[in-house]
Structure 1
Amino acid sequence: MSIRNGLSEPEPGDGPSDPVAGSLLDAAHDCIAAFGLRRLTLTDVARHAGVSRPTVYRRWRDINTLVADLLTREMRAALLTAAQQSGPADGPGGVRERLVRESSELLRALRGHPLLARILETEPEALVTYTFQRLGSSQRGALELIRPQITAGQADGTIRPGNPDELARMVMLLVQTTAQSWRLVDDVLPLDRLTGELRHLLDSYLRPVEA
């Protein structure tokens, strides 16, 4: 299963059927890039987009729901980038190898993403509110990618037995915790070494136990 299959459905207010909503999300993106997430209001978004406040309120009841949709859109883009760069599952490690590679590429995509990286660097506690304290649509999208690969890896013998839902949640947790907390280890684990350690951690976690 490719990430395109897992994330093929557009989010409410973020599809071609509502181009105004897409423009509003772009405006929110620009506002956050300019002055951060904490101070953002729907009025700011409306002003930057050149529309009335009711235009924004018809689509989002408050700034939290708008930011959640924006982060979901940007996370989907990061997931797509990771999937495209991870390559096929044709190595000796099969699906496990691809999933580990995909997870490390996602970490790189998150660190290199202009908006998400800025929030992670300057306001990580604000991002926690939207992304790390609940199972939101961005996490569900990630799980739609991870779980089928867990199942496929168990079928080809490259991933250990276990509940696919539990294994998928742990993979997601390891990646997002590493992405959130990179500043704690950056002095000893710059990005290349951090992604290497993440690959080692995930590979060891998923690898079948040899008899």
Structure 2
Amino acid sequence: MLSHRHEAADPRDEAILDAARACVMAVGVRRTTAADIARRAGISRMTLYRRFPDAASVVQALMTRQFGGLLARAHAESQDRATARQRIVATTVRMLQLLDEDEVLHRILDVDPELMLPYVVERLGTFQRAALAQLEGELRAGMGDGSVRLGEPARLAAALELVVRGHVLAANAHDRALPAAVAREELGTVVDRYLAP
């Protein structure tokens, strides 16, 4: 959900991102500093700065890794479905469950919820763009196998992302009209019927 400029996937970054995660869980995003991340990673600040320009870029890379990993897991777990539409629905519902259970997302929503606002009203982050690209590919496959109605894949994907985003951002709403599991099931029905030929 958060964008980042540090695109290289380097194994040396894992310890830095793990340290950033620990900092976010301890003090939130806004109070996480480069010095704190470096200390937890057991490296100097200069070593950190050789990999990332600042603490914000480390945290952004962490969010991309965190949510991208959940998306990859949800996608992998849906591959046994017979049609692309079934895979899209299963991936969506499972992704929402994983996000509902995700400690990092809940910590951000608890401590620094204002950080999510730009990704609601201003721009898409790296994770959102990756999810859209994956969804567009599945939509094309669904149009090919006849399980998804014909249309512009980018348009359908963007509409679905808007619907799903509302559910994700309601993850900490304690007074939901529907329990989380029921809401996910209902959203699965919405996605399925929206895409049906």
Normalising by the smaller structure, the TM-score range is: 0.7 to 0.9
Aligned to 1:49: 41
Aligned residue identity for 2:98: A
Aligned residue identity for 1:65: S
1:194 is matched with which residue: 183, 186, 192? Answer: 183
Aligned to 1:207: 196
In the alignment, the residues of structure 1 paired with residue 86 and residue 174 of structure 2 have an alpha-carbon distance, to the nearest angstrom, of 25
Aligned residue identity for 1:77: G
In the alignment, the residues of structure 2 paired with residue 146 and residue 206 of structure 1 have an alpha-carbon distance, to the nearest angstrom, of 12
Aligned residue identity for 2:9: D
Highest RCO, 1 vs 2 (Cα 8 Å, sep ≥ 6): 2
The Cα of 1:84 is off from its aligned counterpart by: 2.6
Aligned to 1:176: 165
Correspondence 1:119 to 2:111: no
Q: CA RMSD in A?
A: 2.0
Aligned to 1:160: 149
Correspondence 1:12 to 2:7: yes
Correspondence 1:140 to 2:129: yes
Using the aligned pairs only, state the percent identity: 36
The Cα of 1:45 is off from its aligned counterpart by: 0.8
Instruction: In structure 1, list runs of 5 or more residues that go unmatched.
Output: 1-10
Say whether the 8 Å CA contact 2:106–2:171 is kept in structure 1: no
Aligned to 2:22: 30
> Secondary structure, in 3 states, of the residue corresponding to 2:99?
helix
Instruction: Give the number of equivalent residue pairs.
Output: 191
In the alignment, the residues of structure 2 paired with residue 34 and residue 184 of structure 1 have an alpha-carbon distance, to the nearest angstrom, of 22
TM-score, normalised with respect to structure 2: 0.87
2:74 is matched with which residue: 69, 82, 85? Answer: 82
